[in-house]
């Protein structure tokens, strides 16, 4: 698996890129993730960690 670099835009003579990694369907299934779900991303001790985004994060849920 490789990290792909894609041109995103040019602004004031500066190029901006995004980086893409293809995640195999079985890995998504094992992680309990589905297409279209929002995820959080962070780096931890040399690893990139994806996890399901908490839909209630920052919201008052005391109803």
Partners of residue 9 on adjacent β-strands: 16
State residue 58's pLDDT score: 57
Q: Tell if the pTM clears 0.75, that is, is over it.
A: no
SS (H, E, C) the chain: CCCEEEEEEEECCEEEEEEECCCCHHHHHHHCCCCCCCEEEEEECCEEEEEECCCCCCCCCCC
> Tens digits of per-residue pLDDT, 10-61?
999 999 999 999 999 999 999 999 989 999 999 999 999 999 888 776 555 5
């Amino acid at each position: 698996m490789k990290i792909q670099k894609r041109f995103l835009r040019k602004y004031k003579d500066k190029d901006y890129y995004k980086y893409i990694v293809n995640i195999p369907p079985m890995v998504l299934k094992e992680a309990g993730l589905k297409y279209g779900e929002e995820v959080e991303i962070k780096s931890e001790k040399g690893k990139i960690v994806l996890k399901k985004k908490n839909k209630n994060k920052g919201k008052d849920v005391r109803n």
